[in-house]
Amino acid sequence: MKPKSKEHRRRWVLRLFEWGVLFCIVAVLGGMFLNRMGRAQAEIERRNFQSTVMAMQAAVLLQSVVRPEDVAPGDDPALVYREQFGLLPTGYVGRLDRPDPAAVAGGEWYFDTGKRQLVYRVRCVRYFRSNLQGPPRMRLEVVRKSGSSRLTVNILDDGDWTVGGKDAVN
């Protein structure tokens, strides 16, 4: 077998260096892509939450105008939503008495019968800043509008998403 020349070794080391640089570039681009996808997923979750809350606000307002005897402050807005539109919010698990928020999966809704609040458990926790202890979640309640007999769904100040704009739902 013929011994390898110095030129061959130099080309081999250079080729190895090129592969290393290429691998680093691909790794950095892959990391940037995964970060962008996480932010996009959080933005989609935020917008889905907002649109669901706006639909619930419309359902509760409509119910309080058309049939005010069927809805009262502290009621479950998801059930009013079902009565008005014929479906429950995606991920609604039902009415729970003294629920453990950690036992509810991210992206699900439940009604806390003790506190009389509808709770949304946030799925993308990395992009949500919570003011509550435990898993991040948003709480909503049916309240009477000030100076009116009409009802609305009010979002309690439990935190906010760190993606997207500050679109007000209230």
- Chain centroid to CA 29: 26
Question: Long-range CB contacts (< 8 A, 24+ apart) of 20-24?
Answer: none
CB atoms within 10 A of CB 124: 21
pLDDT score of 169: 44
What's the pTM value of the predicted model, to 2 decimals? Answer: 0.80
pLDDT score of 114: 92
In whole angstroms, give the CA distance from residue 140 to residue 119: 6
Q: Tens place of pLDDT for every residue, the chain, 170 residues? A: 677 777 766 777 668 888 899 899 999 999 999 999 999 999 999 999 999 999 999 999 999 999 888 888 999 999 999 998 899 999 999 999 989 999 999 999 999 999 999 999 999 999 999 898 989 999 999 999 888 888 999 999 888 888 876 543 44
